[in-house]
Each structure stands twice: as structure tokens, then as C-alpha cells.
Amino acid sequence: MKSILRGTLPRAGPFYIKRGIAKSHRGHNEISSFKTAVETAEKLVQPKSDKFSDPFSIVSHEMSNLAKSIASLIGSGHPTLNRVSSYYFEAEGKNVRPLIVLLLSKALLKIPESERTRIDIDDQDVTEQPHYKGTPTKTSVAGNTVDDLISPLAVLHGINPRVILDPLSKPMDQLPQIDAINGILPKQRRLAEIVEMIHTASLLHDDVIDLSDARRGRPSGNIAFTNKMAVLAGDFLLGRASVAIARLRNPEVIELLSTTIANLVEGEFMQLKNTVMSTEPTINNDGDAKTVPEATGKVPTVLHEYSVATPKSVDHATNVDAAFEYYLHKTYLKTASLMSKLSRAAAVLSGAQDDVVENCYQFGRNLGLCFQIVDDMLDYTSSDDAIGKPSQADLKLGLATAPILFAWRERPELGELIARKFKEDGDVEIARRAVQQFDGVEKTRQMAREYCHRALENLSVLPPSDARSALELLTNSVLTRSK
């Protein structure tokens, strides 16, 4: 199978990963301050300074105003829609994705201006900061700030613009002064808000699909409101995010972020099928099998070259390898795609050179895979209260994640349970015992640890700074999180 990154998704099992070495940026190949953490794997770094005990501290102002800033972007004329759309932003979430954007933006600022010329950094982008001139052949089409309209307000809303305040055009509080102090470009700040909106929209949709009843320690959106309202609110968030994406006025970043939305849907469809072992043209309709209508041929459809459609093989090892590839690819689409592309977008907006942009992408990809693999592990080890949502839910939903796949490698008969999505009485209990017997959780932890190492290596392309140290600490903490 050709992966989305042409072979960069590693295989699973004892050979599931090859250590990648990040390219070192000229003049910035100093030894990472967290080398010890890399060598000792899961052990969390104890920073020399208390100010790094919380990565949020470096960007505390931006993070503390995140929900308020997002609220200004998602305002609607309908009060109930406003209520549903803002529901998940009210609860305390991890906010990992905007945190990555902000910390990475500060870390990229430490690269000399002379080495950040991949695009023009527009005067409106940098406000009080110097104007970084890019090469004549690689210019941006920025031109305006993230709050300026592209189309007339009357066109956007379809009503008299004098009677409505455009929620996407409100100026941010004291933006130039904040940028001059912190070195985070306005477009990078807006990027942080956009990615959290996209992520939250996916949570609203996921909770409907997974029939969840809790999220962030309280009733999920579909329970607090209705399935229909939760779906519509998620759609609304994606619509508002799309407008904000367009106003970044950078074609490459627009392409990256728009692709993440499509990736989320592709990943969800992969999860509906769940395994490469199923080749029947049926779909699950809330417990009932439904046959997929045959194509008429009027609309030609071509699978992507990275499509995962490996049929069931008579060879057990081949089946397990294919299942791991399917699992990792689904994980990339559902989780790592957004983290990788937001990291790349932050680097693009900074004007950094290609090697830095690529390593930022790989950092987000490896961190995203690590994050979701740990999440899958926690589903087997944590209580409902610890993770703020139902635990041990993956098997009940018929999902074959890393712990059970590792057990399947050692116990071939588990393949039948995986193929039928643990639907028969006793399947879930058999699977849980197998995971415990064959150390599925510990092998999953080692898998996550390897991705963590690779993410840290990618960060070595950046010059040493407080922000890079905070990113390294954040990366290590993913392995030791309990929720």
C-alpha cells in the first residue's frame, strides 16, 4: 500500500518504525535540551526553571483569550445556534492544537530574518515588527489583515449590513502591541483559533456518530441538545472556520487547512469500516446492515493512490500488518492530519525555509500519531472520571485499535472477533483478556514512545529557545497524560 505520505507511515509490530532523523537547520544543530528525555523515553523532563512547568505560561495571554476570540468568530443571529456552537468551548479542554500553533510560532521567530524569506511577510501581518522581504518569485497575496472582508458585507449576510455586526470583522483587542511583545503574527493567532474550531466541530460530529453521552466531564452536545442540533452546529463551525481560513490570504495555508476538513471525513469513513478484513459492500445503519447502492457509472470515481483496501489474506501476519497500516492511516486522517498541517501552516506563515517547513509538518504528524495512540491506550486503562468520557468504549463500538491488534498478532483467532466488530456475547471480555495476556497496552505505549522520539528529533531543526523547550516538554508530557 502506498500511504498518503508515500511510505512514511511505519509498519507495526516489532518492526513498526524506523527512526527518522530530522534535517538540522544551518547554525541551529545544537544538542536538544531534552536529549536525556529522548534517551530515557517516557520519563518526563524536569525543567530547570519553574516557568516551563506549564507550556501554557509562555503564551498565557493568547491562550486565556482563545475562547473569547473564537466566540467573536462564531456569532450567529440565532441564539440557540450560538448556544450549541459555543457549548464545547465553555468546558475546560486540552487545547493542545492552538497551543502547538502559538508555541511553534514563537519558536520560529528565533530563526534569523535573513533565513525566513520563503514568502513575503506583509506589513499588515507584522504590524509593529519589521517587514521581511521574500524572494521575488515567492510572494504572498496577503494584502490585508485577518479581519478585513473580501466580499461586501451585504453579500456575505444577504441583508442590510447596517443592522448587523459582522462577527468575522471585529478587531482583536490591542493586537499590534501584543504582537510586538510576543512575536506571534496576527495570522498565526488566527490560525490557532481556526484549528480549535475545526477540532471542536469534529467532536460535535464524532459524539453523534459514536452515540457518546459525555464529553469534557459533562453531557455531550448530542445529549445536551439533540443529534440534529449537534450536527448542524458542527457544520456551522466548519463554515465559520472556512471564512476565517480564506481571510488568511495565503493559498498554501488555505489548501492545507481545507484538506484537514476532508481528511477528518475520510478518517471517519475508515473508522466506520474499521478493518481491511471487511470486503462486503455493506454499511452499518445503527445496528442494521445496509447494502451500498451500486454506482451508475455517470460519475467516475477513482480511489486515491494511498487508499487502504487490502483484501483478507490467508496469511495471518499479512492480515495483521495490513490492519496496522489501516489503523495508522485512519489515525493520521482523524487526528494527526490536523496537527501536522497546522504545524506546517504556522511555519509557512513565518516565512521559514523548506527544510524547516517540512520538519514542522513531520513534528505535528508524529506528535498527532503519538497523541491518538496514547488516547487509544487510555481507553483500556482509565476510568470514566479520569478521561471525562466513557472509558473502554472502543471495543463496545467495534473499534480495533493498537492494543487489540498487538494481541491479535499473538492470537490469530481474535481475527474473527475483530471482523465482526465484537458484536457477539462475550467478545468484548475475550478481547480485553487477550490484551492483558499479550501486553497489548505496553506494546502500544512503546509504539507511542517511538513517535514521541521522532517528534522531538523534528524539533531539533529549530534554534534553542524557551518556546522550543516548552514544545519539547509538551511532546514528552503526551506520553504521561492520564486524560
Residues forming beta bridges with residue 291, ordered by sequence position: 282
**Is-contact 360 458, C-beta < 8 A?**
yes
Q: Is the pLDDT of residue 380 over 50?
A: yes
Quick one: average pLDDT of 46-57? 55
Q: Is the pLDDT of residue 285 over 60?
A: no
Convert the pLDDT of each residue in 165-202 to its tens digit.
Answer: 445 544 444 444 445 456 788 899 999 999 999 999 99
Euclidean distance between CA atoms 362 and 342, whole angstroms: 11
Q: Is the pLDDT of residue 444 over 70?
A: yes
**Is-contact 380 417, C-beta < 8 A?**
no
264: pLDDT confidence band, cut at 50, 70 and 90?
Answer: very high
Convert the pLDDT of each residue in 322-339 to its tens digit.
Answer: 899 999 999 999 999 999
Is this prediction's pTM over 0.95? no
Considering Cα of 310, then 314, then 315, then 320, what sign does the dihedral take?
Answer: positive
Convert the pLDDT of each residue in 130-153 to its tens digit.
Answer: 444 444 444 444 445 676 777 766
Set out the domains of the chain in order of their start, with CATH numbers.
13-274+283-292+304-480 (1.10.600.10)
Cβ neighbours, 10 Å, residue 200:
25
- Residue 50's Cβ-count burial label (10 Å; 0-12, 13-18, 19+) is exposed
What percent of the chain lies above the pLDDT cut of 90? 45
Quick one: average pLDDT of 399-403? 93
